[in-house]
Amino acid sequence: MATAFQDLKKRHLLLVSDKKSSFPELWKDFLEFYPDITAVNDKYNNLKLSYKQLYEYICWFASGLQHLGLEKGDHICLFSENSSKWLIADQAVLTAGAVNAVRGSQTPCEEFFYIIEHSDSKALIAENLETINKLAVYLENHPPEFIVCLSEEEIPAEIRDNLNVYSFNQVIAKGKRECLKPVSLKRDDPATIVYTSGTTASPKGVVITHGNFLSQLTDLTDVLDFTPGETALNLLPIWHIYERTCEYYLLSRGITLNYTNVQNFKNDINDYKPNYLIAVPRIWEAIYSSIQNEMKKQPALKQKFINFLLKAGEVHIKSRRILNNRCIDNIRFTIKGRIKAFIEFSLTSIFYKLAQKLVYSRLGSALGGNFKLGISGGGALAHHLEDFYEAADLEIFVGYGLTETSPVLTIRNKDNNLRKSAGKPLNQTEIKIIDPKTGKKLGFMETGLVMARGPQVMKEYYKHKEATDKILSADGWLNTGDLGWLTPGNDLVLTGRNKDVIVLSNGENVEPQPLEEACLTSPFINQIMLVGQDKSHLGALISPNIETVRQWAQKQDLQYADSSHIYSCPKIRKLFKKELKQCLQKRSNARVYEKVKCFKLLEEPFTVENGLLTRTMKVKKVEIQKKYRDKIEEMFKI
């Protein structure tokens, strides 16, 4: 009976989200289905609210904003990291009929200034006093109508009076005294302006409509079947469209959002014991590395035994994929290949069960013990991570999309978790592959430029018609800029970025992403970026996993006065040369010209702080090439 009731609610939400005109209209349905379920649990802001209580806060905050002068169609900046207060502020802005331009509080000042001016925002919602202070110089010359500070810090009188600053609780108090003015919205009305990460130039403002968001809730319901009252751990930047749409979907399914941050992630995942984790590949990599580091602390003999079990587990799950048609590598597998897979599957079965008991069980504990499903987006999930989590029987659905597509275009699901693919297109979503040069549509298994069309595609780039026309055709096809191919079953397989392709001096085109992923399977390589445009061969900039390198050096009785000597040590360089060769040779379809013949070990990793990673952990290749231009030229001369 309970299952039938859940199915009824699922179908109802599927219908209502498709029929609603704006996101705020959905709250009445949320209240009907989940009034007493905990909606948000945010110990860092001392807020734990049911769906009913959360909606009250949203309405009070929206009414308070209206009282301060926010009207339908107005633009307001929202600069904050992820929290329950961000969600309240965001939903309040939408409920008031306004449009928020979002960014994280740790954004460089220049980007803040650009977004405030470019978005035509009349007011600002800031995470805390530190954020306001960063903007103070700009705001003195470009004063907003008002500022809301989400924290409850004491605001200096000079700043408060000059910039008209109100605290979160003051806005709530104003809202309680005033009646919320109802606002009528249409699906095509803008909901938010999301500024791209700006890996190459000034960020562009992606205009996402209410209809874009609503279509995502409708179409994801067919793929992700969650049960009201289950829990999720929320870590990612909320101003990134991936996390934002995921949180919207979780709310639509009656899930409890538990907020955490990078510093407290490990403790919070054990405390909250979430059922679901929305993450980027970097987080899955960090969890994997923590397990690996624990195993390296074991005695040498035990390490060898564990490594044997892990290898057997890898062979077992790869053979299982072949037998179950769950990997792109065996789309055209022969009968002989299937027989071989069956034999390997049978022979490794006992070792795989032992590995689950002795090794993989630790991963379940590291994820809190109640883990049901992970969602991975915002970048490709490395193949060795796919192997590891699958061997541990922990399901991860990989999805694909862009900020410009709200973001989900494709996603795997339980019935079709095809490894190494980005999944099938959502309902109402079309994917086609074209020749980048001629525009001709290509057939199955032919690599070309990925084009997408559907109800989730953005309205436009704000105040940038030229850029909009360049990426979005008159008949609604969006140029994703990604390269890939479609399987006969219509699963999308991504191979790289069109603009990232490295053209060697011999005319060969190299897609760096698959090669970089292969190299990252080495425990000694933390980050890598391939280079070699117009060169005779490939080179690499490598950020080593310095702790693993040190451990290896100690076993080799290598002594260094300080860590800087590691980067120039001939034996260390020989180690990395060997690792690169082995990682690339393991690829089933390795080509002769896909060899890294020169490399530089970098003492500084790629980080957000040094400007070499975006806030969503994407590598800023242009910035890295600028920073290390001399090193790149030097290594190709050797």
Q: Is the pLDDT of residue 199 over 50?
A: no
Question: Would you say 416 and 209 are in contact if contact means Cβ atoms under 8 Å apart?
Answer: no
Confidence of residue 347 (pLDDT cuts 50, 70, 90): very high
User: Which structural domain, as residue segments, surrounds residue 547?
Assistant: 501-637
Q: Is the pLDDT of residue 628 over 60?
A: yes
Over 141-204, what HEC string results?
Answer: HCCCCCEEECCCCCCCHHHHHHHCEEEHHHHHHHHHHCCCCCCCCCCCCEEEEEECCCCCCCCC
In a domain, 554, yes or no: yes
Per-residue model confidence (pLDDT) at position 558: 82
Question: Would you say 234 and 275 are in contact if contact means Cβ atoms under 8 Å apart?
Answer: no
Average pLDDT over residues 122-143: 93
Per-residue model confidence (pLDDT) at position 127: 97
Confidence of residue 2 (pLDDT cuts 50, 70, 90): very low
Rounded to whole angstroms, the Cα distance separating 258 from 274 reads: 8
Q: Which two tokens stand for residue 159?
A: 């700043």
Per-residue model confidence (pLDDT) at position 190: 98
Question: Which of residues 239, 263, 279 is at a domain's end?
Answer: 279
Provide CB contacts within 8 A for 21, sequence distance 6+.
Answer: 184, 185, 186, 187, 210
Name beta bridge partners: 194.
102, 206
In a domain, 330, yes or no: no
In a domain, 511, yes or no: yes
Higher pLDDT, 270 or 608: 270
In a domain, 437, yes or no: no
Q: Is the pLDDT of residue 131 over 60?
A: yes
Determine the residue type at 463.
K
Nearest CA to 345 out of 379, 317, 383 is that of 317
Question: Would you say 152 and 167 are in contact if contact means Cβ atoms under 8 Å apart?
Answer: yes
Question: Would you say 221 and 10 are in contact if contact means Cβ atoms under 8 Å apart?
Answer: yes
pLDDT digits (tens, 9 = 90+) for 474-515: 999 999 999 999 999 999 999 877 777 787 866 677 888 889
Q: Which residue has the tokens 């008031």?
A: 96
- Phi first, then psi, for residue 372 (nearest 5°) are -115, -40
**What angle separates helix 383-391 from helix 300-324, to the nearest 10 degrees?**
90
Average pLDDT over residues 573-599: 87
Average pLDDT over residues 557-586: 84
In a domain, 443, yes or no: no
Per-residue model confidence (pLDDT) at position 116: 96
Per-residue model confidence (pLDDT) at position 638: 66
Confidence of residue 342 (pLDDT cuts 50, 70, 90): very high
Question: Which of residues 279, 308, 343 is at a domain's end?
Answer: 279
Higher pLDDT, 555 or 562: 555
Q: Is the pLDDT of residue 13 over 60?
A: no
**What is the percent of the chain where pLDDT is above 90?**
66
Average pLDDT over residues 294-302: 85
Nearest CA to 244 out of 403, 93, 124 is that of 403
Instruction: Pick the range with the lowest mean pLDDT from 34-43, 460-469, 601-610.
Output: 601-610
3 state DSSP class of 236 = coil
In a domain, 398, yes or no: no
The model carries a pTM of: 0.84
Per-residue model confidence (pLDDT) at position 12: 47
Average pLDDT over residues 526-531: 94
Per-residue model confidence (pLDDT) at position 507: 67
Per-residue model confidence (pLDDT) at position 76: 98
> For 328, which DSSP code?
G
In a domain, 368, yes or no: no
Higher pLDDT, 502 or 96: 96
Average model confidence (pLDDT) across the chain: 90
The Cα angle at residue 243 between residues 170 and 222, in degrees rounded to 5: 120
**What is the percent of the chain where pLDDT is above 70?**
95
Per-residue model confidence (pLDDT) at position 184: 96
Domain harbouring 510, CATH code:
3.30.300.30
Rounded to whole angstroms, the Cα distance separating 145 from 612 reads: 35
Q: Which two tokens stand for residue 475?
A: 């008949």
Provide CB contacts within 8 A for 535, sequence distance 6+.
Answer: 504, 505, 636
In a domain, 72, yes or no: yes
Q: Is the pLDDT of residue 19 over 90?
A: no
Confidence of residue 231 (pLDDT cuts 50, 70, 90): very high
Average pLDDT over residues 278-307: 87
- Phi first, then psi, for residue 401 (nearest 5°) are 175, -175
Q: Which residue has the tokens 């013949």?
A: 597
Rounded to whole angstroms, the Cα distance separating 398 from 569 reads: 39
Rounded to whole angstroms, the Cα distance separating 275 from 148 reads: 34
Confidence of residue 137 (pLDDT cuts 50, 70, 90): confident
Domain harbouring 49, CATH code:
3.40.50.12780
Nearest CA to 383 out of 285, 512, 525 is that of 285
Rounded to whole angstroms, the Cα distance separating 297 from 116 reads: 50
Rounded to whole angstroms, the Cα distance separating 304 from 306 reads: 5
Nearest CA to 579 out of 621, 554, 619, 549 is that of 549
Looking at the structure of the chain, the number of domains it has is: 2
CA distances from 456 to 197, 219, 220, 233, 575 (A): 19, 10, 11, 25, 47
Average pLDDT over residues 506-526: 86
The region, left, alpha or beta by phi > 0 then psi within -120 to 50, assigned to residue 340 is alpha
Per-residue model confidence (pLDDT) at position 623: 87
Name beta bridge partners: 525.
544
Q: Is the pLDDT of residue 4 over 50?
A: no
CA distances from 313 to 141, 293, 306, 345, 584 (A): 63, 19, 10, 10, 21
Q: Is the pLDDT of residue 14 over 60?
A: no
Average pLDDT over residues 22-28: 95
Per-residue model confidence (pLDDT) at position 197: 65
